Structure 1
């Protein structure tokens, strides 16, 4: 287990390195096995895994593709800083997924398309709108999603290794990019799906263990609710008390909060109506916005 050093950091010990090594070996073995299983003799085999995947690995891959370091670090931090209202993002996802299954997927299937750029080309004609939306989607992915996930994952590796230099942050980023690129380019969708299945199992098991240990450490759920408003951050940013994440709001247990955005980071009007358009974009169109 990781040991705490004298300056408040952590130092990995040999059991930690054994677990990390076994993890990467398991992912590597699954990646090589799935890559050999995939024929890759056609575009359909490479990008669609020959359409012969079971729904369990497909669902696990969708879960693992959506949940990542941005959730474990970013969303968890937002919940710790603001309380229950941060859960509104995930609650709204339920309605977005229902809309995807009942309204959008039937249109995609009947049209015989796989991506939103492909559907818009079929709907309005011309190749320019397809190329434009593909380039726009890739740009947004790089500067919003991929950048944030890479930074959060690299930050975790940097803290786990107790390396504070920026060089280690960039090394961690390139390491994550390299591992993901090798599996994706060599094995196609089949390798991505099966490696995501491994990631999903580890994430769910690790999250459950972390949840149980966390509740045990604070004395249970009711103790968490009672003690949460007294848990204030002790670190100050540049010598100034950071109230945005250092002070718990009084309505920390409220999902629907005040109308005034200056008094709440999650006003109920924005979380209700503004979130609706975001969910339609994210769950119903953005997940199929690729360069195909």
Structure 2
């Protein structure tokens, strides 16, 4: 896939004379009959850090807002988390993240520069300036930037490679959609439907998950006209705008839950609810009234839609954090015995952790209370295995015996004995660390070069 995409990118850059030719010709890529500012290439097109107020991607929002969205995606999104949890060891998980970091460097050269080359090669289509011209060029009055890559493929690649490229793009799209819909089905089935129908069997849950996926597909198809009309038809801006309105509350709750032990469940719940409400207060009127395009302002009032969506993401993150902390201070804190190795300040704790959800009925009325641990009773010694390291025996009043991992002093479920640190593969662990440093150096160099 990478080889095919790279072939198309080389063809696009070669057609405009390489990177030097792109820098020289891009400012001159004007559509026909341009009289006003609309349709003209931005003078800061080759700079990542742009003006904080007039830039289309202002640098404070790019650093803060986009950083928050990235933290949400890489740390909490189900698509990423389910892959990390499938890793054989911590070294494998870290290596996978480093490889993904290397791949994340490529979009600058696989997507951005070829798109700019398409603007140079087809200015009357990709750079159309008015609604009538865009409708004639691609059938969409809001803009034709989304047809840049297909136009490059159909124009520059030979017939056999066109079909192969189409198959590659569709395969990648199907893989991404399958992962997203599978995650959505699992979340709905396990976190919502199973709570409503606790006695549902495995086949029942499987059917419910599939029906939910079908409903999600139908909702996605019904939402396509909104995607086409939002943000001037620019798909990347639309994706980042939606994430800016919905992702910061999740990122704020995750950040505070890891670094602030005082945060509790009511604070997290009301923080998510309040953040979602604030995000929808911006998302709904913007998509309902429209933000407009160059030369055609939208109907959304500046008081609601005037702030750039990346700046709004940073403010939404702060507002959600204040709600989480404020509500958490109104409720008792989570006892320390439930937080060992779950928060950053207790990450190296060796004390047993009691599961917060370990409860038993208190009386016939259905009230619950935490179950107290009985006196330690040594369980049978487990058979050593490569995945379960042996545990030294500890003397007790009745004799000596080990305590296996995952069990408390009584060997009961719910009391997590401090686990041994996950084994690191010495040589490969150092290789991963070295590659992480190289990746950071490459990222800093690219930022410095294009800033």
Higher helix fraction (1 or 2): 1
Of the two structures, which has the highest relative contact order with CA contacts closer than 8 Å and spacing of 6 or more?
Answer: 1
Under a length normalisation based on structure 2, what TM-score does the superposition of the two structures give? 0.33
